[in-house]
Structure 1
């Protein structure tokens, strides 16, 4: 009996890469509001679990920014039918009451997805690119970049995560 694409992906493909992140993590988050001007650096804790028979992972995090607590949630997956990485994101700081959907590609060390956010008071939406870089089984980095309507990209967030359970 031959294996499905999904079974193969869980054994040796993008789903395996995502599932390798399941566990508990401590991290350090750096935030920029202006280009090259670090605005905040603070600790973050997170937990990653698998969802729906290992189709997705849920990344829940809690941290502090500018002295105030915040929390967020991302769901990451890989759409095998369309050969693309997909991600949704909500949080209590950056996204307000919105939900961002992003999609992108598998990279050498992880995944890169791009979405957009806007506000009726703004003339044009902004882009947001998120990179999930898996360094090894005990460390990954989540980086995000703001993309202006003219295409200028600036680093917005970087969290270096270290596994706290084996």
Structure 2
């Protein structure tokens, strides 16, 4: 990545899009185990900050599943040389001890990435897709989809944030 390409991305490209998401957020977290109805709905607070000169965003958040606290960290980025969105995600609830890496095409204007995880029993991997959408400066929607080994996709998590302040 050349310095000029990165500066252009900060000014008018994907890194500018990432920078729009920086801030303090509050909203709701919903979790599905089956497609019919959410297993949980709880408040969620998050802080998204630009790190390493605007190269990445660091998203730290807190919520709950029933009485169990949830803490998570996600790193969001755009790899200019590969024209690819990239993320790394860890959480006290959903990822166990796995660091989940995800990537997606930069041709999609939204951060839309795909990763995978094991079933813990040696079976085929399951897919996990994460999509971030920012319809306006004060709204951020993070939707995560579980994908069976057969390719069936269902909404698993939805976080709807409103900017604080």
TM-score range, shorter chain: over 0.9
Aligned to 1:57: 57
Structure 2: runs of 5 or more not aligned: none
- Count of residue pairs brought into register by the alignment: 164
Find the aligned partners of 1:74 and 1:122 in 2 and give their Cα distance.
26
Aligned to 1:149: 149
Aligned to 2:47: 47
Matching of residue 84 in structure 1 with residue 84 in structure 2: yes
Q: Where in structure 1 do 4 or more consecutive aligned residues deviate above 2 Å?
A: 105-110
Aligned to 2:20: 20
Correspondences of 1:25-36 after superposition (within 5 Å): 25-36=25-36
3-state SS of the aligned residue for 1:54?
A: coil
Find the aligned partners of 1:107 and 1:159 in 2 and give their Cα distance.
24
3-state SS of the aligned residue for 1:124?
A: coil
C-alpha deviation, 1:36, in angstroms:
2.2
Structure 1: runs of 5 or more not aligned: none
Normalised TM-score (structure 2): 0.94
C-alpha deviation, 1:66, in angstroms:
2.0
Normalised TM-score (structure 1): 0.94
